[in-house]
A = this chain, B = another copy of it.
Amino acid sequence: MERRTISLRVALRPDTLLGPGKADLLQGIRDTGSIAAAGRRMGMSYKRAWYLIDTLNNSFEEPLVVASKGGRTGGGAQLTTPGNAVLDGYRRMEAAATSAVADELAHLVELLKPAID
């Protein structure tokens, strides 16, 4: 994943946080079609990945992730329409925040010690 200059966590409600971890997990499910694979590429246990998805699913009116039926490959998972909306919305917020802070960030970087390369 590319280097990000900001990390954004938003409180949809005081008890419902959406940050880089959950967003990357949703992204991973979209990309891989599997909760296990999505967790794995983040170095996250299946249990933890499943717990985060379950928490998200329970926070929204409709689930963000649904599991496909089993079958020989053990099934898979995919984002629902609201799941895609949440992930895309988060990415737009990340991009908007990155632009919004760019000038100020450049000022602060000027105050740093020169980098030792």
Contacts and interface: CB of A to CB of B under 8 A. Distances in A.
Contacts of A92: 104
A4 interface: yes
A96 B105 contact: no
Copies of this chain in its oligomeric complex: 2
Contacts of A85: 107-108, 111
B101 A93 contact: yes
The A contact surface, by secondary structure, is mixed
Interface stretch (A11-19, A26-34, A69-77): A11-19
A56 to B, nearest CB: 10
B109 A104 contact: no
Interface in A64-117: 82, 85-86, 89-90, 92-93, 96-97, 99-101, 104-105, 107-109, 111-115
Interface of A: 3-14, 16, 18-19, 58-62, 82, 85-86, 89-90, 92-93, 96-97, 99-101, 104-105, 107-109, 111-115
